[in-house]
Amino acid sequence: MADRLSADFVVVGSGIIGSLAARKLALAGASVIILEAGPRVTLAELVARFRNSPRRSDWMSPYPSVPWAPHPIYQPEPNNHIVQAGAYPYAAEYIRQVGGTSWHWAAHAWRNLPNDFRIKSLYGVGVDWPFGYDDLEPFYQEAEEIMGVSGADNTGSPRQKPFPMEPVAEPYAMRRLRERLAPEYEVVSNTTARNSRPYDGRPACCGNNSCQPICPINAQYHGGLSADAAEAAGARLIANANVYKLEHDEKGNITAALYYDPDRASHRVTGKTFVVAANGIESPRLLLLSTSDKFPNGLANSSDMVGRNLMDHPSTSLTFDADEDVWLGRGPQSPSSINVMRDGPFRSEHAPYRLDFTNISRVDGATRALIAAGVYGSELGKRLRYSAAREMNVKNVLEVLPDPERRITLSSEKDEMGIPKPEARYSIDDYTRKGHERSQQDFQRIANLMGGSNLRFSKEGEFANNQHICGTLSMGNDPRTSVCDQWGRAHDHENLFLAGTAVLPTSSTCNSTENGLAVALRSVAHVLEQQGASTSATGISKS
């Protein structure tokens, strides 16, 4: 064989978490191969695709699905990559591409609140994590220093060291919200992986207001940068390598990853230790696909927990017209939140939530709406200016509890590569619904305080999805109810580690990436410690 593919560590998935896990392993001196199903795409290509897209409000439009590594697409036509089999459709989006889905995130990099780790003990719902906030705190810091996180201290998550950067300068619209909602609501700056000053060779934000789907200047951190960093640290990244099976030996240790190239030729990569970090749907899919005589239900699945406890953050929202010009669209897209409903005794009764204010320009959506309403002539320009200046939007970000019945399985349908598609069973339960109901009074009050008119609540019964896929490879101390231990090691396989948001046991009220990354960095530190390697370096130059 011309090219023998073998390494100390084989990482499946080159997203922000897989790549930064790989980078940390490589910096410690290990040989690492990263296998990424999707293609390499450059920042310039993505910006051009966005500008040339006829669907500028569809964040997936610059990220088309490719036949050799399909991912879910809903517009203009759904490709049905995820087969829906549940009470409520789970319209998840993710990107199979070098760098993964955080190419088009809003860069929210929240830490959990300390109580998020103990909701079973405190509130009698969900599960407790196998470790606490203090155990994860140094790895939150490590993640924040790598990504370059800016934030303020008034968000309820205590810290040992300061944020790498001060909060990004507050857009005028958010200032008005903060001023007019005080003292009833404290509007706080979001904790984001967005530069408020030049950091690690990347510039400060210039307000391009396209954080989703693409920051054109890399002022916002993303997984493409993680993949670059992993390669710079010595990891070998193979793109267009769609892993469809993991093999094991008679002891149950993983021995190889099999992947298809775009021509469906199969390749085999061997390694000593395997890390599966292919996102909350593709990771369980891979484990379920990897059946054998010894493991007829797939790998890491003696508990039958692989793919279960699927969680995300559903949102409902209110759009209204303020009684003053605020002009959303100046500065970054997602700058401010209200955090008061993220924790409290009410969590025994209903979902907690963060209230999130958008600063996304209203121009695209308002134009469509006005034209659809038959507004033509000079009135169109006038009304467009009014909407662009006055429209505001607040949404909730609701916690979903782990429930084994919400799950990812394999479908009888196959994708373009002949691989069974993922199938989703999802639902919105009363706990989440009650949280939505509670938030309506906040929505109304916020609109009132802003002098709001023309209130447009999102359609009752419809929940937008936030693409924070988690829970499907939950970690825990009990091998009967979890897939991996607190270090991400599969209960069933000594040399198989799971990384990514899938391992998070609960969803809390914050975007899952920072949690998933901090947990993965903690796992890697543990692996390296066990192997006697150095674990301290973050490799970030302080500027």
Partner 1 sequence: MEKFVDLAGSPNPTRRLLLFGLASAYTASLIPWALAQEVTESDQSAFQTLSSILTGWRSLDAAQGKRLYAALVADDPGFPAAAKALLAMIEQRKTDPMQLQEVLDEEKSPLALVPWRIVTAWYMGIVGDGSKARCLAFETALNAEVVADVLKPPTYAYGAYGSWTSKPR
58 binds partner 1 (CB under 8 A): no
- Find out whether 150 and 166 touch, Cβ atoms under 8 Å: yes
Given a contact cutoff of 8 angstroms between Cβ atoms, the answer to whether 410 and 288 are in contact is: yes
Strand partners, 422: 410
For partner 1, the closer CB: 176 or 491: 176
Residue 357 beta carbon to partner 1: minimum distance, rounded to whole angstroms:
14
Instruction: Judge whether 58 and 212 are in contact, CB under 8 Å.
Output: no
**165 vs 281 by CB, closer to partner 1:** 165
Q: State the alpha helices, DSSP H only, in 118-165.
A: 119-123, 133-147
Q: Considering the rule CB under 8 A, would residue 368 count as an interface residue with partner 1?
A: yes
Region from 156-164, 287-295, 366-374, 490-498 binding partner 1, contact rule CB under 8 A: 366-374
31/208 with CB nearer partner 1: 208
Residue 107 DSSP label: -
Q: Which of 209, 220, 283, 506 binds partner 1 (CB under 8 A)?
A: 209
Nearest CA among 476, 471, 496, 486 for reference residue 298: 496
Which of these ranges, 142-150, 151-159, 170-178, 277-285, lies near partner 1 under the rule CB under 8 A?
170-178
Minimum Å gap between C-beta 80 and partner 1 is 15
Q: Tell me the two tokens of residue 146.
A: 């790598």
Q: Is 374 in the site for partner 1 (CB under 8 A)?
A: yes
Binding part of the chain for partner 1, among 109-117, 155-163, 202-210, 396-404 by CB under 8 A, reads 202-210
**Distance between CA atoms of residues 471 and 308, nearest Å:** 7
Residue 31 in contact with residue 297, Cβ under 8 Å? no
- DSSP string spanning 24-35? HHHHTT--EEEE
Which of 131, 327, 346, 457 forms a contact with partner 1 (CB under 8 A)? Answer: 327
Separation in Å, CA 486 to CA 48, 130, 478, 482, 529? 42, 6, 10, 10, 15
Six token digits for residue 362: 């209203």
Which of residues 52, 121, 266, 477 is near partner 1 by CB under 8 A?
Answer: 52
Choices 169-177, 350-358, 390-398, 521-529; region in contact with partner 1 by CB under 8 A: 169-177
* 201 touches partner 1 by CB under 8 A: no
Distances (CA, A) of 348 to 123, 251, 509: 5, 43, 15
Out of 81, 248, 350, 468, which one is annotated catalytic? 468
Selection from 12, 543, 514 nearest residue 254 by Cα: 12
Q: Which residue has the tokens 């009135």?
A: 379
**CA 237 to chain CA centroid, nearest Å:** 21
Binding part of the chain for partner 1, among 78-86, 367-375, 423-431, 498-506 by CB under 8 A, reads 367-375
Torsion angle of alpha carbons 221, 114, 307, 259, nearest 10°?
Answer: 30
- Tell me if residue 468 is catalytic: yes
Q: For partner 1, which stretch binds (CB under 8 A), given 124-132, 205-213, 275-283, 291-299?
A: 205-213
Q: Which of residues 416-445 bind partner 1 (CB under 8 A)?
A: none
Binding to partner 1 (CB under 8 A) within 384-413 occurs at: 384-385, 388-389
Applying CB under 8 A, does 511 fall inside the site for partner 1? no
Q: Minimum distance from CB of 182 to partner 1 (Å)?
A: 17
Q: List the one residue from 8, 349, 364, 416 that touches partner 1 (CB under 8 A).
A: 364
Interaction of residue 150 with partner 1, rule CB under 8 A: no
Rounded-to-integer distance, Cα 367 and Cα 370, Å? 5
The answer to whether 377 contacts partner 1 (rule: CB under 8 A) is: yes
Q: Residue 491 and residue 495: Cα distance in Å, rounded?
A: 10
- The answer for residues whose C-beta is within 8 angstroms of residue 293's C-beta and 6 or more apart is none
User: Using CB under 8 A, which of 190, 240, 334, 361 touches partner 1?
Assistant: 361
Complex with partner 1: residue 197 or 445, whichever CB lies closer:
197
329, 402, 435, 488: which one binds partner 1 (CB under 8 A)? 329
**C-beta separation of 230 from 237 below 8 A:** yes
Q: Summarize as ranges the residues that interact with partner 1 (CB under 8 A).
A: 47, 50-56, 76-77, 169-172, 175, 196-197, 204-210, 214, 216-217, 325-327, 329-331, 361, 363-364, 367-368, 371-372, 374-381, 384-385, 388-389
Positions annotated as catalytic residues are 468
